[in-house]
């Protein structure tokens, strides 16, 4: 089962979130954060795949304050998508993320633990979620940021990363050079529950809808690692 639901923002506005439910009807929750292309076929597909693994997946429309339900299929309109990111208010986004976390936790289908996963822009939003979103004093239980280039600008929040986290990066990513990955590694030093996984790939290697980015081998390598990590921290 998949549909869109309404989430109420901290300022009273409402935005859409794509929801995918497992066949069992219930399970651990997963916030799924979009790339710069919005909630498109790729992100909906990720949610559907996660629902197939037993999770209640919820992907909030993070561009709703700029253009509700903004959606582009792939990298063919990069200029427009990058402009949307440039206009994104990360402070307001943090509030919307917390509201989505509260919404997911309150869903009767969500059985308890909640994690987050995101790609590209969504990788940074996943890190933002893990370090700032708290509902009744409780944050998420696991995070999986894929190649979030904006994470480096948020490393001042590293001490607030208290949940197990699996970072995925491509070692040939033109947007996240080796020096940037090394900064993340240094900021995460000493955190036993943080793993930084490097793949022989470029940027957005998991996006099967973006031909110039997609790397089938790297995507097939990272996905089982992600599922095993999520199962360990959300299903136990």
Which residues are known catalytic residues? Answer: 173, 203
Question: Which residue has tokens 């890190």?
Answer: 127
Q: Name the helix (H) or strand (E) containing 111.
A: strand 110-119
Report how far residue 127's alpha carbon sits from residue 131's, in angstroms, rounded to the nearest whole number. Answer: 6
CA distance 45 to 54: 14
194: its two tokens = 């943080």
| Maximum Cα–Cα distance across the chain | 44
Beta strands 56-60 and 142-146 are unpaired
Q: What angle do CA 207, 210, 215 make, to 5 degrees?
A: 55
């Amino acid at each position: 089962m998949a549909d869109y639901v309404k989430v109420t923002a901290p300022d009273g506005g409402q935005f859409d979130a794509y929801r995918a439910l497992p066949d069992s009807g219930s399970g651990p929750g997963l916030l799924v954060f979009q790339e710069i292309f919005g909630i498109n076929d790729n992100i909906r597909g990720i949610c559907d795949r996660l629902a197939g693994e037993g999770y209640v997946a919820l992907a909030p429309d993070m561009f709703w304050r700029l253009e509700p339900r903004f959606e582009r299929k792939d990298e063919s309109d990069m200029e427009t998508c990058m402009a949307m990111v440039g206009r994104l208010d990360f402070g307001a986004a943090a509030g919307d993320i917390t509201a989505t976390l509260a919404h997911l936790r309150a869903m009767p289908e969500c059985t308890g633990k909640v994690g987050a996963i995101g790609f590209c822009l969504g990788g940074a939003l996943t890190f933002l979620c893990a370090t700032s979103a708290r509902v009744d004093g409780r944050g998420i239980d696991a995070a999986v940021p894929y190649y979030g280039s904006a994470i480096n600008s948020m490393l001042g929040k590293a001490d607030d990363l208290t949940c197990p986290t699996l970072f995925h990066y491509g070692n040939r990513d033109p947007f996240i050079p080796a020096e940037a990955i090394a900064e993340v590694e240094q900021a995460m030093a000493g955190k036993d529950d943080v793993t930084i996984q490097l793949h022989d790939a470029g940027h957005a290697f998991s996006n099967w809808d973006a031909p110039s980015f997609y790397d089938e081998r790297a995507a097939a390598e990272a996905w089982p690692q992600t599922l095993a990590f999520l199962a360990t921290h959300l299903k136990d």
